[in-house]
Amino acid sequence: MAIKVEGQLVDLHHRRIYPAELTIQNGLISHIREKEHAPDRFLMPGFVDAHIHIESSMLVPYEFARIALRHGTIATVSDPHEIANVLGLPGVEYMLENGKECGLKFHFGAPSCVPATSFETSGATLDADAVGSMLNRPDIIYLSEMMNYPGVLNDDPEVMFKINKAKALNKRIDGHAPGLRGMDAKKYIDAGISTDHECFTLDEALDKLKFGMKIIIREGSAARNFETLHSLISTHTDQVMLCSDDKHPDDLLRGHINELVKRALDKEHDFFDVMQVACLNPVFHYDLSVGLLRKGDPADFIVVDNLTDFNVLQTWCDGQLLFEEGKTKLEQKEHDIINQFVVSQKTSVDFQYDGPVAEVPVIGAIDGEIITRRLKCSILSVPSEPDKMIKFDTEDVLPIAVVNRYGNTPVALGFIHGTGLKQGAMASTVAHDSHNIIAVGCTAEDLSQVVNMLMDCKGGLAAVNKNEVALLPLPIGGLMSPDPCEQVGRVYEEIDQFVKRLGSTLSAPFMTLSFMALLVIPEIKISDKGMFDAVNFKFC
């Protein structure tokens, strides 16, 4: 049966808007008829997130889709390396299967770096053969972010095997090379790596653009580069896309790529340039199975009330109406639970510093960034009591710990500046990329209490202050909840506000904490094996 949809058609290919009637048959647009008059609503291609880790929303793909569809997102380019670091290929399979049932078009890649480095303990390893096998699959559309840029620069055989396999299959290769410039950037790009979402200065982005790389402007819950890079929308329209990378559930409830579109228009970028970047460029670059409002295309589009606020009235995928009048057509359902977690309860002794009273390296957290500064601070005194704080010559320096969740090993202890915590502790098993338990606390006693809460539930987010506790369980890989976004987002907001009442000055405390174990991002981080120099790739 044919379906007719009328409105003002936003034709991005010819850069015009006109009254039209779409005819949908068998999930495809069988006809587009220009009319003299049509309802005062706008039919336009849906938004595409050009790089996202669905796991960072703390939702399974199905539940992510139930919210993203309301914001006009119809497709994503998704890197499943978070769950791959925990569960390997079964984790990737989980994401693929769960995402098949929701209409929104997830396009998953083969994780290229599992584990990201050899300086941490992950739950799985995907060697070159495993990655090659994944790339052979039709439902794996690209090689996801190549974080091992030293391996590319040094022609590491295993790294080059993965890259060459993707090239042989004509599949795109995503990049991840923060701060890489000049001839090193050129060699990285010349290897076949086509995108980067890690640029944190305009000069870095321009450097990579001149060598032919495409830049994905990222605005997530922690890393926010839109203000720095948005000028590229007008100056390099053909070479730019938009992404969230990591989006926490409370932020996802408020908006997705649609927010960036509105911000870009507020900055007076050309409407059609913005739409090209948000809707067309990812589809063409990755050759996505997404319709773009042309005759014969899959009927993937959104209907909005105006071209300023973009309030979504309807979202269509493959001719199916998935969102209308503020309600998703996807019913709530149960989801399977998979995980990998070795429970090893800790005591306050495990978190007590037993080093000298001396100068120590310190992670300098930066709000809104996943890069850090390497600081040096002097310890003035170390208490013998586990409920007392270590004294430093600098304010706002606290112990940070990483606990191996895959085996019972000693706790790695370091120090961090910039969290703002005045009391209690916070911890998370969302800790890129290996997702061990990462915790910051004022005392050894606080740290043991918060870590053991996560041991008990085998993953999640937790915060404590003596008898006050807050917990968001994430039983799927220690990364995701089986619950709807509204419920997860509400609990996340509660625990976020709890941590801020403890003194944290970070805009997204748990998101920032999650990146303090990401060893491939400079300048200094911490793994379950110790404090790590992320510039020179060695332990401190």
Q: Which of 416, 368, 367, 423 is nearest to 394 (CA)?
A: 416
CATH superfamily assigned to domain 46-288: Metal-dependent hydrolases (3.20.20.140)
Residue 502, burial from CB neighbour count under 10 angstroms (0-12, 13-18, 19+):
buried
Whether the CB-CB separation of 378 and 395 falls below 8 Å is answered with no
C-alpha to C-alpha distances, 390 to 378, 379, 384, 499, 501, nearest whole angstrom: 11, 7, 10, 20, 21
pLDDT at 222 over 80: no
Which residues have C-beta within 8 Å of that of residue 28, sequence separation ≥ 6? 291, 296, 297, 298, 299, 319
Residue with tokens 């119809």: 74
Averaged pLDDT, 150-177 = 96
* 226 has a pLDDT exceeding 90: yes
Instruction: Using alpha carbons, list the distances in angstroms from residue 195 to 91, 209, 245, 439.
Output: 25, 9, 13, 32
**Mean pLDDT, rounded, of the chain:** 96
* Rounded Cα distance, 68 and 58, in Å: 13
**pLDDT on residue 368:** 80
Contact indicator for 469, 453 with CB cutoff of 8 Å: yes
pLDDT interval class at 520 (50, 70, 90): confident
Question: Is the pTM here over 0.75, yes or no?
Answer: yes
Quick one: pLDDT at residue 348? Answer: 97
CB 236 within 8 A of CB 6: no
Residue 437 confidence (pLDDT) above 90:
yes
Q: Rounded mean pLDDT of 320-333?
A: 93
* CATH 3.20.20.140 placement within the chain: 46-288
pLDDT of res. 223: 80
Tell me the backbone φ, ψ of residue 391, rounded to 5 degrees. -100, 135
- The candidate with the shortest Cα–Cα distance to 370, out of 218, 233, 243, is 218
- What are the beta bridge partners of residue 363? 374, 416
Percent of the chain at pLDDT exceeding 90: 94
Position 9 scores a pLDDT of 98
For 69, the token pair is: 């569809």
* Residues 161/162/167/172 CA torsion (nearest 10 deg): -160
CB-based burial of residue 497 (10 Å sphere; 0-12 exposed, 13-18 middle, 19+ buried)?
middle
CA distance 225 to 240: 13
Question: What's the pLDDT score for residue 146?
Answer: 95
Selection from 166, 213, 121, 535 nearest residue 363 by Cα = 535
pLDDT confidence of residue 232: 98
